Structures are given as C-alpha cells and as structure tokens.
Amino acid sequence: MSLTNERAGVEGAVVHAPEQVPARRSGARTAVYAVVAVLVILSVTRQLSGANDITSSGTAGAALRLAVPILLAGLAGLWSERAGVVNIGLEGMMVLGTWCGAYGALNYGPWVGLLAGIAGGALGGLVHAVATVTFGVDHIVSGVAINLLGPGVARFLSALIFTGSEGGGVTQSPQIEQPGKFTVPGLSDALLSVEGHHWFLVSDVAGVLGGLVTEVSWVTLLGVLLVPATAFVLWRTRFGLRLRSCGENPYAAESLGVNVYLYKYLAVVISGGFAGLGGAFLSLVASNFYREGQTGGRGFIGLAAMIFGNWRPGGLLAGAGLFGFTDALQLRQGETSVHALFLALAIGLALFGGWLLYSRKVVQGAGALVVAAAVLALYLFTDTVPQQFTTATPYVTTLLVLALASQRLRMPAADGLVYRRGTAK
C-alpha cells in the first residue's frame, strides 16, 4: 500500500481526522508574528525599565541551556502520548539518564556517556511499556512507580560504584569530562558588538542571536535539531502515521494491519531514550558530574511544556523556551529582571486585550485590560520582588501558561486508554 493510500485509510478511520490536516502555513505565519511581538515587547520593556539583561546574549545562552533538558523531556512525552501511552514517569527516566550518562562518561568519555544516558532512559521506558502495554497497568500508576524507582536505583548504584572514588559518594559522582562547545567565528563578535550599543530592537535581536551562536555545546545543537527531526518522522513518514494512528484509534489502525503493540512499545522506549538524553545533558553539559536530585522536576515541567504545545513539536519548543527564559532571568539578575517582567506582562496583556476588543470579544478584552492595569500598578508601586517569588518564577510561569492554554488543547483521542487486540466493539 502506498503512503498516500495508507494515510487516507488510517486518517479516514480515525475519529478526529481533521486534526491530521493542520494549516501549516497559517501556523508558521502566526509563530513568526508571535516571535516578533515578543521581541518588540521585551525591547520596549528594556528601554523603559533599564533591565538590559532581559535580552542580553548571556540570558539567551543561559535560556537555551536551561531549555534543552525541558525540551527533551517534552519530546519524550510527545512520542509516548502520540502512541496513546501517558508517560508521567519522565522524571524517573531522566534520573536514570543522569546516572548512566555520568557513569559512561567517567569510564569511556562524554559521547559514550550520552549513549549510556539514552540507554538508561530507554530501559525505564521499556519497563513502562511492559507494565502499560502488555499487562494493562494504569498509566499513571506505572509512571509514579518509575518516578520512585529511578532515584532509588541511582542511589543504590552510586553507593555501589561511586563511593570510595575521589569526589564521589552516595549522592554524587566524581567529576567527568564535558562534550565540546562551538562559537560561530566572526558572527558572534559582530552580534555582541551590536548588542553593546543598546539600540531599540536591533540590539535586542543581536543579543538573542549572539547567545545562540556563542559557546554553545554540540549536545545543545543536537537537542534543538531533534525537534524538526521529530516533526518530520511523526508527520511526514509512514512510520509516524502508523504510530499516531495508535494514539488516535488503535482499533482502526489494527483493522488496517498496523501492529499496535509493536508501535506502542517502540514509542515508549524511544520516549525513555529522549528522557535519558535530557538527564545525561544535565550531568554532562549543564554540570560536570552526577548529583542526586539533579533533575529538579524537569520531567514534569517537560510534560507541562508538551501539553502547552498541544502535543506538537513547535508548541513544545515555545513552551520549553519560555521556561528556560524565565529560569535564566531569575538566575542572572534575580529580582531586577523578574520585576521588569511585570512591565512586559502588562504590555502584552494590554495588547492582547486591545486585540480582543477589536475582535468584538468585549468581556474577555475588558478582563485582559483590567489584569494589565493591575500588573502595571504592581510594577509601578514596587521596586523589586521577594527572593522566594524570584526562585519560583519559572514554575509560576508554567502554571499560568497552562491555565491560559487549556481552552485550545486536544490530546490524542486514545491517550491513556488500555488497548487489547481484537476487542473492538
């Protein structure tokens, strides 16, 4: 059967077939407009508040590094849930990735460490697949069990292997070698020079781009490239079509000859591999050793970023970038930069409220303008924000974004449902 005919057959059998034909050009145009709007708002905020760090190359570079493990965790969730298996065990799989990555790098070098991290996460994914796909265990229960199992296994192995080594112990590994970094020659210096002039918008764009081409790890580049690779495989290949059909209507896929069990297994193991790579990134790139608690809830945040992205790679990338940006701000200038975000939020809400009013959505538009006024007052009548709020900013941002995006979400139709071959009604 040709790919075109198979696509027509599977999509015709899927209940939510219209979702399979997205308006790609419209979506790309909207994404470009959104990026431009965000840059303009941040540039205006920088000019008015004097918080130059919100669009600096240092913040952009830090945001990229902090976003990559979230991005990889989100991609892990995307692969699994597109095949109909809920995977909240991402945190435990990332923990296995951090430990295995450190062990592999300690003994064989950083690139072997990355492969070991992928293998560790994939092993966690295999356990999840056996429990959920073969034995029909509730997906949430299995995920929680893996989140408890991962740290326990890592601690046991650390006590067995790292204890007694120089710098190692029950809670951490000895120092390990990091993968290499690259800087685009010429372009990096030119962008940093333009950034230093603090021109409106131009310097902001230069600062953001400068952070993306200066002292960037090769693993970071790999993580970003996995986004278009995932989009291509899942939406442009026969394999991806079959896998997504298992998450939409596995019985329809079964009737067309798709081995649903096999595709669910592959999706969950690949999901674990992505999570393991994200964990290895934390121990090899973000740091140079394994440390207990290193994931810091990033598996759950990656899951939130995936939901914010509406189970699509592009939206997931935006969600991971948002978290990385807010996390980078609170790490670099803390109270000053986070305080400036209130002004940016007020401007954004005011523009959004105006657009709603223009669209004749009077109640929603008026509500957005009222909130914008309240946020602006908070900015004007305060000089800083408490340290506790600064630390919690990335998590608060995640919750707010999920709350605002909840009305437009559509998960795969069979996500989380138990499948048994030959039992369709």
Residues of the domain holding 175: 61-187+218-309
pLDDT value, residue 16 = 46
pLDDT value, residue 334 = 57
pLDDT value, residue 368 = 87
pLDDT value, residue 202 = 94
Tell which residue, 419, 408, 414, 345, has the closest CA to residue 378.
Answer: 345
Residue 424 lies in a domain: no
pLDDT value, residue 19 = 44
Residues 110 and 45 in one domain: no
Residues 97 and 135 in one domain: yes
d(CA 196, CA 265): 51
d(CA 221, CA 283): 17
Residue 43 lies in a domain: yes
Handedness of CA 75, 270, 127, 150 (dihedral sign): negative
The total number of structural domains in the chain stands at 2
Specify the DSSP class assigned to residue 293.
T
Residues 294 and 375 in one domain: no
Task: Give the residue from 258, 277, 309 where a domain finishes.
Answer: 309
3-class DSSP state for residue 199? coil
Residues 83 and 224 in one domain: yes
Task: Give the residue from 309, 341, 364 where a domain finishes.
Answer: 309
Task: Give the residue from 276, 309, 342 where a domain finishes.
Answer: 309
Helix, strand, coil percentages (3-state) for the chain, rounded to 5, are 75, 0, 25
Residues 274 and 397 in one domain: no
**248 contacts 416 by C-beta, under 8 angstroms:** no
Residue 9 lies in a domain: no
pLDDT value, residue 341 = 85
pLDDT value, residue 5 = 55
Residues 159 and 254 in one domain: yes
Residue 417 lies in a domain: no
Residues 265 and 370 in one domain: no
pLDDT value, residue 32 = 84
Residues 130 and 274 in one domain: yes
DSSP H stretches of helix in 334-386: 335-358, 362-380
Residues 353 and 294 in one domain: no
The terminus-to-terminus CA distance of the chain in angstroms comes to: 26
Strands (E), 161-318: 181-182, 216-217
Residue 4 lies in a domain: no
82-107 per-residue burial string, b: 16 or more CB within 10 A, e: under 16: bbbbbbbbbbbbbbbbbbbbbbbbbe
Q: Low-confidence residues of the chain, pLDDT below 50?
A: 1, 3, 13, 15-23
Residues 43 and 148 in one domain: no
pLDDT value, residue 391 = 73
Specify the DSSP class assigned to residue 422.
T
Residue 290 lies in a domain: yes
pLDDT value, residue 287 = 92
pLDDT value, residue 26 = 60
**281 contacts 275 by C-beta, under 8 angstroms:** no
Tokens of 129: 């697949």
Residues 295 and 342 in one domain: no
Contacts of 355 (CB under 8 A, 6+ apart): 365
pLDDT value, residue 105 = 96
Residue 390 lies in a domain: yes
Residue 355 lies in a domain: yes
Residues 292 and 343 in one domain: no
